[in-house]
Amino acid sequence: MTNEQYRRKDLDYCCAMCGGELVKKYDPQLRRYNWYCSKDNSHHGYQQKLSPGQALQRGQADEVIGPGAQNDLEKRASETQWQFSMIPKNDLGSFELLNLANVEALIAFARNVGLNAYLGHVCLYHGKPYPTVDGYYYLNNKRLNPYRIGTAPLDPA
């Protein structure tokens, strides 16, 4: 890897276990540079940082954009409704376009389970509503003690 690629990895990725910034350190045993968590050297693995759009969908806009951003953006998404929202426009199983009754039922389902249909938290699969991955992340981030979802390296080195 070039120095530019190393620098970009430091900026674009974070610790998979705690979300901390990555620092590049030379490992004399491996004889190469490696990335470590700036908060705890025992943490292994890294993941790509969320874009502002991904953070909004997963309920983490306050962390990425600033305090109060999540509520403000959710309100705006519900006001713009159909044109700019992320409500699915077709059934993922049969690829049929959704009619207005299906869309209203999807919005009602999302509201009942604590999700926001305008942020793409629900989809229709063969006529049945299901939460999307972003919906699961969103519900997780609303918990008092959210689970940390990340990756770990396959090799222990």
Predicted structure pTM score: 0.52
| Higher local confidence (pLDDT), 87 or 123 | 123
What number of helices (H) and strands (E) belong to the chain? 6, 6
CB 45 within 8 A of CB 152: yes
pLDDT for 64: 67
How far apart (Å, rounded) are the C-alpha atoms in residues 66 and 73? Answer: 11
Q: What is the pLDDT of residue 84?
A: 52
Q: What is the DSSP letter of 21?
A: B
- Tell me the pLDDT tens digit for each residue of 23-82: 878 878 878 877 788 888 787 777 777 777 777 777 777 776 677 777 777 777 666 655
Give residue 109's pLDDT.
Answer: 92
Per-residue pLDDT at 157 exceeds 60: no
